[in-house]
Amino acid sequence: MPAIKTDVRVMPIRIAAKRISGTFLLVLFILAACAGFMGLKLETDKILRKKIPGSSIIYVPSGKFLKYVTFGYSGLAADMIYLWAIQYYSTYEIADRFTYLDHIFAIIAELDSRYTDPYEVGSMIAGKEARDIPLALRILDRGFAKNPDMWLFPFEAGHIAQTQLKDYDLARKYFGKAMVLPGAPDFAKRLYANAALKVTDFKTSWETWLEVYNTATDDRVKKIASNHLYQVKAEMDIDALKEAVAKFKEKYKRLPDELSRLVTAGILTSLPRDLDDKDYVYDAATGDVNPPTMWWKR
């Protein structure tokens, strides 16, 4: 039995102190380790790791597969993937991020076909950033196919067709679909009429503008409609007049010196007048026919 060298009263204090200092050292160690790894994290963040473009998506599964796998949480999955897609497509460093654009938005559509934002945003990314207009239209078509009651999809598609592709026939088709859907704004009709005019579908254009004129609720819209009616008539008439002038030239090998000659030559039964019942202006030197006023200046 070893002899007790120290005072028994001192021992408890020393042991207690040892235990407290032991705890103290432990806490110090924990804090030091914490500070250490946090500092290292800041360092590792600075180091740029080479990323394979699009490497975050190595294998992209099909939407149908995902729908089964997400066990009824497909709506949530759609939200998550959409959120991720937004971040992904805002990361401009990833050079070939558009490779799977169609596929990714197709997956979102498959998981939650009634979620409208992804169609719009997807088509916007396709059109404005990836510069793939057909894809932009495809995405909107997909949206419309799954949501035939949403006027927004054909409306935006019409816009894209009109402004980017300058394909007025396509625009006309889209606006035509849009304007009959519930909630569509009035000017959908006007855009339709306009597009129709651009493809020289005078009949449709006239009829539509007439409808707008008759159903207009305020004077401003009425004025617009009447201006456009003027425009349609003017174009129609000018077309007819130009055709008559050409016929005259063919027959008499020269341009008529005035429009009335067309009637006397028997080519036209009467001279059309513009909507304000004014004559069209004819330039005998060039054979041009123009309306007396510009339709938007009326």
With binding defined as CB under 8 A, does residue 40 bind another protein? yes
Nearer to another protein, 30 or 145 (CB): 30
User: Does an H or E element contain 31, and which?
Assistant: helix 10-46
With binding defined as CB under 8 A, does residue 297 bind another protein? no
With binding defined as CB under 8 A, does residue 34 bind another protein? yes
Number of residues that bind another protein (CB under 8 A): 33
CA 1 to chain centroid? 91
Residues 6+ apart with CB under 8 A from 109: 63, 115, 118, 119, 142, 143, 146
Nearer to another protein, 29 or 65 (CB): 29
With binding defined as CB under 8 A, does residue 23 bind another protein? yes
Q: Which single residue is written with the structure tokens 């026919």?
A: 289
Nearest-angstrom CA–CA distance, 244 and 69: 69
Longest CA–CA separation in the chain, Å: 145
Q: Is 111 exposed, middle or buried (0-12, 13-18, 19+ CB in 10 A)?
A: buried
Sign of CA dihedral 281, 284, 289, 295: negative
CB of 196 to another protein, least distance (A): 45
With binding defined as CB under 8 A, does residue 42 bind another protein? yes
With binding defined as CB under 8 A, does residue 285 bind another protein? no
With binding defined as CB under 8 A, does residue 37 bind another protein? yes
Nearer to another protein, 20 or 145 (CB): 20
Nearer to another protein, 49 or 253 (CB): 49
With binding defined as CB under 8 A, does residue 17 bind another protein? no
Task: State the first-to-last Cα distance of the chain, in angstroms, to the nearest integer.
Answer: 121
* Helix, strand, coil distribution of the chain in percent, nearest 5: 65, 0, 30
With binding defined as CB under 8 A, does residue 30 bind another protein? yes
Q: Bridge-partner residues for 289, per DSSP?
A: 282
Q: Which of 12, 72, 182, 183 binds another protein (CB under 8 A)?
A: 12
With binding defined as CB under 8 A, does residue 27 bind another protein? yes
Residue ranges in 189-248 that form contacts with another protein under rule CB under 8 A: none
Per-residue contact flags (x/-) with another protein for residues 48 to 67, judged by CB under 8 A:
xxxxx--x--x---------
Q: Which single residue is written with the structure tokens 């196919």?
A: 145
The binding site for another protein (CB under 8 A) comprises 1, 4, 8, 11-12, 15, 18-19, 23, 26-27, 29-30, 33-34, 36-38, 40-45, 47-52, 55, 58, 87
